[in-house]
Amino acid sequence: MLDAKEIKRLSGAIIEFKANAIAGPRPLACTGPHYEIKQYEADMLFQGALAEYGDPSTTPDKMADKIGFGKRPIASLVTGCASEIEFHATDADHAVFALNNSIYRMVRTSAANKSAAKSTP
């Protein structure tokens, strides 16, 4: 069952990946991450959920294509945090993560855009 409050709380949230922490809302926030970039095939996305819980009438590759993963292997950021959430890149500026049966899309915000947004009244 989808949690509408959780979806609303996480949608539009800012997540900042720093060397010693991930700043953002729970459960994405983390202190002392141990970052690792892994290369996954579609059946390994979302810790294997596309293969295990996906639509049995299709393949993990076809589902990954629908989500926006056009290339294989898929670069994925493993954080080493207790939440075990992994971030999978759809391209250089976009990533997705899964939490409680929902897939969230992320867009990279450049430092210049963040500074301009903060200075705008």
- What is the residue extent of each domain of the chain? 34-114
pTM for this one?
0.84
Distance, CA of 78 to CA of 40 (rounded, Å) = 11
The confidence band for 16, taking pLDDT boundaries of 50, 70 and 90, is very high
Percent of the chain topping pLDDT 70 = 89
Tell me the pLDDT band of 57, cut-offs 50, 70 and 90: confident
CA-to-CA dists, residue 83 to 70, 112, 117, angstroms: 27, 30, 30
Q: Are the C-beta atoms of 95 and 87 separated by less than 8 Å?
A: yes
